[in-house]
Amino acid sequence: MRLEKQFTQCDGKRISLYKRAQILVADFWGIMEARGQGDIINMDWLTMFADYRVPQALVHLGALRYSETLMEALKKGELLCSGDRREVEIRGCSVWSVELIKQRLYKLYETCSVTSAVIDFYLWPYAKLHHKEMAHIPIHHTRCVYY
């Protein structure tokens, strides 16, 4: 099974999001961390896991904003084709938003060692826990085998 989701943009450049591979590494790190051995894995290179719930939480928290056009399409439940420019932008901007949150935490707390995966580990359950408060923010729908 391929672990990455590959998108082809209109300019011909290929973008790959390795969500399942990232989750595998993060889960392994979590097990090692629970055993007191998490420091043997460098998690700094790992981004958040470009899924559908985290963007919803990022919009709710004000870290990400959708255009009116995109928000209307999502509210209508429009199915975004796998690799659609809007899907790539939602996932890519989510990754970048989490990177900016991480950078801000580093500036605020000099001893902060939080990783993007840990931020994801916070945001995904947050979105599930607060789903009623976020019901007005739609998640994007994309049918594929990669997620």
User: Is residue 144 in a domain?
Assistant: no
User: Is residue 52 in a domain?
Assistant: yes
pTM score, whole prediction: 0.82
Q: Is the pLDDT of residue 2 over 80?
A: no
Count of residues making up the chain: 147
* Residues whose CB is less than 8 angstroms from the CB of residue 138 and which lie 6 or more positions away in sequence, other chains included: 56, 71, 74, 75, 77
User: Is residue 11 in a domain?
Assistant: yes
Could you tell me the sign of the dihedral formed by the alpha carbons of 82, 59, 123, 127, in that order? negative
Could you give the residue ranges of the DSSP H alpha helices within 2-67? 19-34, 53-60
Cα separation, 92 vs 96, whole angstroms: 6
User: Is residue 48 in a domain?
Assistant: yes
User: Is residue 34 in a domain?
Assistant: yes
Tell me how many domains the chain contains: 1
User: Is residue 136 in a domain?
Assistant: no
User: Is residue 20 in a domain?
Assistant: yes
Q: Is the pLDDT of residue 99 over 70?
A: yes
User: Is residue 109 in a domain?
Assistant: yes
pLDDT tens for each residue of 3-62: 344 444 445 566 677 777 888 888 888 898 899 987 877 888 888 887 889 999 999 999
pLDDT of residue 82: 81
Q: Phi/psi zone of residue 125: left (φ > 0), alpha (ψ -120 to 50 degrees), beta?
A: alpha
Percent of the chain past pLDDT 70, that is, above it, reads 86
pLDDT tens for each residue of 108-118: 998 888 999 99
Catalytic positions, written as ranges: 51
Amino acid identity at 117: A
Range of the domain at 49: 5-129
Residue 123 vs residue 45, higher pLDDT = 123
- Tell me which H or E stretch contains 5: strand 5-8
